[in-house]
Amino acid sequence: MASSPLDLAPVVPVVVIEDAADAVPLARALVAGGLPAIEVTLRTPAALDAIRAIADGVPDAVVGAGTVITPAQVEESVAAGARFLVSPGWTDVLLEAMRASGVPFLPGVSTTSEVVALLERGVREMKFFPAEAAGGTAYLKSLAGPLPQARFCPTGGIGPGNAPAYLALPNVGCVGGTWMLPPDALAARDWDRVEGLAREAAGLRVR
């Protein structure tokens, strides 16, 4: 895999899986559509089993764990096969656990001070969350001047309409989103539709 989830595809699908049996066909649809990096959020009891199933059953997928907020979750996620970690925010305790995991990680930030604090700790790649609520493209554009060494995966309120504006920024490597995973398609297990939406998302890169 690439050294960073920021470099795998323009969009990282943020997946909430209720039934681990859906994990493999869902991941196959996303990979077939051109989105190999898949963030499975630890918001459901099925999440770790889903990560394990994707890691074992979809070799072309690069599965990661999202909503990681404790060192225990870091350990469990990596043991399940997660190849990257994403958190909505960070503390020094969580940061050290992610660093010790040996896999790439994206700690979440929403303020300039948090970005500076991570840069001070040697971390240059971050999740910007909640992107739209925290200032959107205007905020990230403002950060690029004084803090050009920081790179971001903005997530939160991003869809096909505004994703290109984020992807056009020099400090954005990719965006995270859920729009290629509409609830009705997931409920119907309409993997062909998911694949088509993933293909459209994969074509959003503007550079």
Predicted pLDDT of residue 3:
65
pLDDT tens-digit readout, 102-142: 999 999 999 999 999 999 999 999 999 999 999 999 999 99
Residue pair 54/85 in contact (Cβ under 8 Å)? The answer is no
DSSP label of 196: H
The catalytic site residues sit at 39, 127
Distance (Å) of CA 205 to CA 7, 9, 56, 120, 151: 11, 8, 29, 30, 16
Predicted pLDDT of residue 93:
98
In this structure, what token pair is assigned to residue 98? 């992610």
Q: Report the distance separating Cα 204 and Cα 175, nearest Å.
A: 10
- pTM (2 decimals)? 0.96
pLDDT tens-digit readout, 167-196: 999 999 999 999 999 999 999 999 999 999
Torsion sign across C-alpha atoms 115, 101, 158, 35: positive
Burial of 135 (0-12, 13-18, 19+ CB in 10 A): middle
Per-residue pLDDT at 94 exceeds 60:
yes
- Phi and psi at 194, nearest 5°, equal -60, -45
Reported as a pLDDT band with limits 50, 70 and 90, residue 2 is very low
Which helix (DSSP H) or strand (DSSP E) does residue 152 occupy? Answer: strand 151-154
